Copies of this chain bind each other. A is one copy, B any other.
Amino acid sequence: MALGEFDLIRKYFTRPTQQAVLGVGDDCALLQPAAGMQWAISSDMLVEGRHFLSTVRPERLGHKALAVNLSDLAACGARPVAFTLALALPRVDETFLAGLAQGLFELAGEHGIELVGGDTTAGPLNLCITVFGEVPPGQALRRDGARPGDALWVSHARHGGIGDARLALEVFRGHVSLAGDEFETVRRAMEQPQPRVALGLALRGVATAAIDVSDGLAGDLGHVLRRSGVGAVIEVEALPISRVLARQPRALQLDFALAGGDDYELLFTAPADADARVLAAGAAAGVGVRRIGRIGADAGLRLLDAQGAELPLVLGGFDHFRS
């Protein structure tokens, strides 16, 4: 039996409200912002074939749709509060919806946030989530705060590295082959990224600038450099590369680590004398943090090898309208 739009919303996406004054089911949700806090807002849209493959398990898709949005809050050092979900579905597939809701609400539960509203319609598969978080005035991590002399850092999973998601994508595309267990590891990085919310909170007052790595490390770093009016050097030997990616040719490792995309790690800067505080923030958040370079006054990005020799930079950030 086909479910109508309102039945769908009730069945899969309506839960009792927690913090919201009014949740799903009215024209608007009503939230009471905490006194004096600023609100951080981000919106990301996921399209089949572009941000996820049709082969993805719906639980992982639900997780990822929320995770990429939480990653933006993490990059601002904001505490997540609530989110809306707008969903276009080509057909009503209850197995798909049940899985999607499961993955979504599991991650929401881990972060203590709630779905407060949204929209459901027929159309080519599309998920648009808008997240709301709070941050004390003046404490948000921004892209424009990097200063010459700052150290450049990137987060990584305990046993993972940057570039794994792209490695998995290239397996799907048939460009790389991996053993089954290796594939499962990097596929999880691609399909189930972990937003670095705890790290973002721990970096308030420590990091001088931050961004989440969604389009490729070098390209995303470019946004920080431009907005901060600075340049950077990356020591490529310091990049966190997983054991799985480390078995690939070195050129491919660097390409995926620097321009792979879909990593959802935090790339951030901190004063050069703040290493201990950054490491403590990583430890508190249970996330690896690696110092990969430094900020300089001269514009542009330079890559140095282990011997300090400059490597050619032929990488471009992943761009949804170019690649």
Seen from chain A, the residues whose Cβ lies within 8 Å of a Cβ on chain B are 2-6, 8, 21-22, 25-33, 35-45, 47-51, 72-73, 75-76, 78, 82, 84-88, 92, 116-124, 126, 128, 130, 132-133, 135, 137, 140, 142-144, 210-212, 227, 319-322
Given A5-B321, A319-B6, A25-B227 contact (CB < 8 Å): yes
CA distance A37 to B73 in the complex (A): 22
A205 → B minimal CB distance (Å): 16
Are B45's CB and A143's CB within 8 A? no
Q: Which residues of B contact A144 (CB under 8 A)?
A: 26
Least CB separation from A85: chain B residue: B43
Partner of A28, one of B117, B123, B140: B140
Are A47's CB and B121's CB within 8 A? yes
Are A43's CB and B5's CB within 8 A? no
CA distance A4 to B85 in the complex (A): 26
Are B117's CB and A43's CB within 8 A? yes
4 residue pairs, one from A and one from B, having the closest CB atoms:
A47-B123, A128-B128, A45-B86, A28-B40
Are B45's CB and A126's CB within 8 A? yes
A315 → B minimal CB distance (Å): 15
Name 6 interchain pairs, CB-CB below 8 A, sorted by A: A27-B42, A41-B116, A43-B84, A43-B119, A123-B126, A130-B130
Given A43-B119, A48-B123, 7 other A-B residues pairs in contact with their CB atoms under 8 A? A22-B140, A27-B143, A45-B86, A45-B119, A86-B128, A123-B126, A128-B128
CA distance A40 to B132 in the complex (A): 12
A82 → B minimal CB distance (Å): 8
CA distance A320 to B9 in the complex (A): 12
Given A22-B140, A43-B119, A122-B47, A130-B27 contact (CB < 8 Å): no
Are B137's CB and A32's CB within 8 A? yes
CA distance A82 to B41 in the complex (A): 11
Partner of A35, one of B35, B48, B320: B35
Q: Which residues of B contact A118 (CB under 8 A)?
A: 43
Least CB separation from A322: chain B residue: B4
CA distance A5 to B133 in the complex (A): 25
CA distance A211 to B6 in the complex (A): 15
A295 → B minimal CB distance (Å): 18
Q: Which residues of B contact A143 (CB under 8 A)?
A: 25-27
A310 → B minimal CB distance (Å): 26
A52 → B minimal CB distance (Å): 11
Given A33-B33, A122-B50, A41-B84 contact (CB < 8 Å): yes
Q: Which residues of B contact A5 (CB under 8 A)?
A: 319-322
Q: Which residues of B contact A135 (CB under 8 A)?
A: 30
CA distance A276 to B37 in the complex (A): 41
Given A135-B30, A140-B28, A43-B124 contact (CB < 8 Å): no
Are B121's CB and A26's CB within 8 A? no
Are A320's CB and B31's CB within 8 A? no
